[in-house]
Amino acid sequence: MQVTSSTSTARTADTTDTSTTTTTTAKKTLGQDDFLKLLAAQYQQQDPMNPVSDTDSIAQMAQFSTLEQTTSLLKQVTQLGTQQDTATANSYIGRTVTVDDGNGGTATGTVTGVEITDGTPRIVIGDYTYAVSSVVLVEPASTTATGS
């Protein structure tokens, strides 16, 4: 990935002008649509006197089928992970947890709820929300002793 940035700052007695330009080139991965386009292009460009053999066609279709199944499996595993994170977050409700606050420190408090943001569960401690993965310590829920 190539990242280019330039910053220029000019100051006068009354104003400050700051501008930043950033250019990012993202890496693209090939997917099912790309595979089908390549396959169609291959069939269009093949030599009629020397067509692709049946074995090659079957192998390509098997690769496509494998790609499709892998993509489906990846989606299912991602959904399972999200469901597991949601169940874990729910199990923290009422417990005192210590979380990494993302600034090199920790925060401790009682989890009062779970908030789902963009499909990802976040635990609520006071006025802040934290990712489930930021939990570093979970203390048992307090129990009240009953007298006889």
pLDDT of residue 67: 85
Res 79: pLDDT: 92
Q: Are strands 16-24 and 96-100 parallel, antiparallel or unpaired?
A: unpaired
Q: Which residue has the higher pLDDT, 29 or 108?
A: 108
Which of these ranges, 9-13, 72-76, 92-96, has the smallest mean pLDDT?
Answer: 9-13
For helices 32-45 and 54-91, the axis angle rounded to 10 degrees is 170
In angstroms, the CA 98 to CA 88 distance is: 15
The pTM for the full model equals: 0.54
Residue 52 has pLDDT above 80, yes or no: no
